[in-house]
Structure 1
Amino acid sequence: MLSELEKNSAILIVDDSIDVIHLLSHILSDYPNLYFASDAATALEQVRLAPPDLILLDVELPDATGYEVCKQLISPGKTHSCAIIMMTASSNMESEAKSLESGASDFIAKPFNPASVKARVKTQLRLHHQSAALAKLVNQDSLTTLYNRRYFDSTVTEEFERHRRQRTPLTIALIDIDHFKAFNDGYGHLQGDETLRQVALAINASCRRPGETVARYGGEEFAVILPHTDLVAAQALGSRLCLLIGQLNLPHAYSGTGKHVTVSVGLATSTPGPLDTAVAQIAAADQALYRAKSAGRNRAVAVLTG
């Protein structure tokens, strides 16, 4: 019997044989979320749009070898560390070794043994979900449950490079709770922690588009990665965040800005060029945040950096 986690797992089967796809569909009929691709290009596009939990990948495809596809699939940012089981009609040790060397988690020989296929799929899904749970703990801020600074730093670099290749605009936002030291001094750190959690939830709820990443950047500061977001959209989001945090109506009697908790937002938008860096764009967002604070706080300032 499958667990709820296994039932909700997405499995992508990549093989150019319709007979193989039908056979695997029958063997794995207990899994409701089966998807299919008959060539490498389609498989890579499906992974880009919706990364699966497990991929069953044939070695021989019409437009590439499974080994080549596997190496692309496990590259950073592609599959979120999904498991890959290679499939081949060759059962020799060399084929198995080459599959594992290319990044596959396991190896299945054709013709299939249904019991073996089911067992290997179940094992790889269990390992994948255990790994994902561990990665979440490593990348999660324990107080707010947002991503932590470590995850932000690695993700922003990947996103910057992706937008450089695609020549599309990327926005980075830095958000700071106004007069938060005074809040902690006046209300105590326990109430300060609760306020951080509520502000984090509000920011996270406002940034739900695919690829948007919200992280606790440090102390009372948050950072957001906004893919495919131009300057106009960036300014609109920053202003909306200020409004939403104000509408939480969290009392702040020690604020020099108002009676409730407010935030200042700095946003930097860039279509990355060859000489641009993610570090420079973050610095530009930090300067925009400084301008928002200098102008009276509880406001957003967006700048174009490239």
Structure 2
Amino acid sequence: MNQRQTVLVVDDEKQNRTLLAELLKDDCRVALAGNGNQALDRAHELQPDLILLDVMMPDMNGYQVIQALKNDDTTRQIPVIFISALDSPADEERGLDLGAVDYITKPFHPSIVRKRVRNHLQSVHHRHLLENLAMIDSLTEIANRRRYDEALEHEWRRGARNGSPLSLAIIDVDHFKAYNDRLGHAEGDHVLRQIARALSAFVRRPGDLIARYGGEEFVLLLPETDAQAAAEIGEEIRASIENLHLAHPNSPVSNYITISLGGTTLIPNGGQVAPLFFQIADDALYAAKADGRNRAFWRQRTD
């Protein structure tokens, strides 16, 4: 079991919280909440892997808590196990109907609770692995286009809320078809992996993202980065790839593998990503190629 997984125990009775914490401490990290409002706050803060939730609590009962969790995009996917003294089939059915993954009645058997929690945490671990694999490019082991599309939507909305700049770079390997024609696709794949590794060094903050967009094309997303800073990063990236000194015998640009880069910066507006955002960056990339390649061009929206 992954020791870094977190279980949030929610119960208004201190004795129950202590008992469950002691029971689970060897399998996972345990966080505690004594009422419904604390539970919602801690769920947002910690994003636990599993929540053990009492039903009968003052002010906000467990049914109300799970409804609030399921109505919030940031907590909807967190699995909830009810642990309750309400032991009728109707109570259990209600809890499961509201989205709980399990229902344990009090008084509970410690060994059974522990095994059920272990099983659910294992399921969560497997689900996260599958979700991560679906977002990773199998060749380069960096984010794929699907992950980029999701990150772009998220960062666009965040930038629109905060009025903060969002920068995008499109990166293309110069004359890559000629490289594959001369040295073969196996060597070409090796080059793409090395470029991806070099580009990953420029992912310096949690919101930054480098992804393989397709073929020999990559994209770099830089939230809260203005045009000047992003353009400087773009030039650093161009130089870093050339400085890898990966031989390219068929390139008219250089003896080594080089890239062309086009980028743009704007402050997002509205809830949907503007198609113009990618288009301006793509136009800058085209201009970099037209100027001789091995260039990094940055353009800003002028309207």
Normalised by the length of structure 2, the TM-score is 0.83
- Give the length in aligned residue pairs: 296
The alignment status of 1:300 with 2:299, answered yes or no, reads no
State the secondary structure of the residue aligned to 1:296: coil
Native 8 Å contact 1:174 1:289 kept in 2: yes
Native 8 Å contact 1:175 1:266 kept in 2: yes
Cα distance change, pair 304–12 in 1 and its aligned pair in 2 (3 A): farther
The alignment status of 1:84 with 2:90, answered yes or no, reads no
State the secondary structure of the residue aligned to 1:243: helix
Aligned to 1:155: 151
Cα distance change, pair 301–97 in 1 and its aligned pair in 2 (3 A): farther
Native 8 Å contact 1:202 1:244 kept in 2: yes
Q: How does 1:133-172 map to 2 (within 5 A)?
A: 133-172=129-168
State the secondary structure of the residue aligned to 1:174: strand
State the secondary structure of the residue aligned to 1:267: strand
The alignment status of 1:46 with 2:45, answered yes or no, reads yes
Q: How does 1:125-140 map to 2 (within 5 A)?
A: 125-140=121-136
Aligned to 2:211: 215
Cα distance change, pair 79–276 in 1 and its aligned pair in 2 (3 A): closer
Q: Distance in 2 between matches of 1:34 and 1:202?
A: 38
The alignment status of 1:175 with 2:171, answered yes or no, reads yes
Cα distance change, pair 10–158 in 1 and its aligned pair in 2 (3 A): same
Q: Indicate the larger mover: 171-180 or 31-40.
A: 31-40
Cα distance change, pair 18–242 in 1 and its aligned pair in 2 (3 A): farther
> Which has more radius of gyration?
2
Aligned to 2:116: 120
State the secondary structure of the residue aligned to 2:297: strand
TM-superposition CA deviations, 1:236-279 (whole Å, max 9, x none): 32222112212211111222322211222222323221276253
The alignment status of 1:265 with 2:264, answered yes or no, reads no
Aligned to 2:5: 9
Cα distance change, pair 13–232 in 1 and its aligned pair in 2 (3 A): farther
Among 257, 277, 282, the alignment partner of 1:281 is: 277
Cα distance change, pair 118–178 in 1 and its aligned pair in 2 (3 A): same
Q: Distance in 2 between matches of 1:138 and 1:301?
A: 32
Normalised by the length of structure 1, the TM-score is 0.83
Native 8 Å contact 1:12 1:56 kept in 2: yes
Aligned to 2:235: 239
Cα distance change, pair 292–163 in 1 and its aligned pair in 2 (3 A): same
Q: Indicate the larger mover: 213-222 or 225-234.
A: 225-234
Whichever residue aligns with residue 264 of structure 1, its letter is: S
State the secondary structure of the residue aligned to 1:303: strand
Q: Distance in 2 between matches of 1:240 and 1:132?
A: 34
Cα distance change, pair 222–271 in 1 and its aligned pair in 2 (3 A): same
Whichever residue aligns with residue 136 of structure 2, its letter is: Q
Q: Distance in 1 between matches of 2:298 and 2:33?
A: 42
Aligned to 1:31: 27
Cα distance change, pair 93–273 in 1 and its aligned pair in 2 (3 A): farther
Identify unmatched segments of 5+ residues in structure 2. none
The CA RMSD over aligned residues, in Å, is 2.9
Q: CA deviation at 1:131?
A: 1.6
TM-superposition CA deviations, 1:266-297 (whole Å, max 9, x none): 22323221276253322222222223323333
Whichever residue aligns with residue 65 of structure 2, its letter is: G
Identify unmatched segments of 5+ residues in structure 1. none
Whichever residue aligns with residue 149 of structure 1, its letter is: R
Native 8 Å contact 1:15 1:61 kept in 2: no
Among 71, 80, 103, the alignment partner of 1:107 is: 103
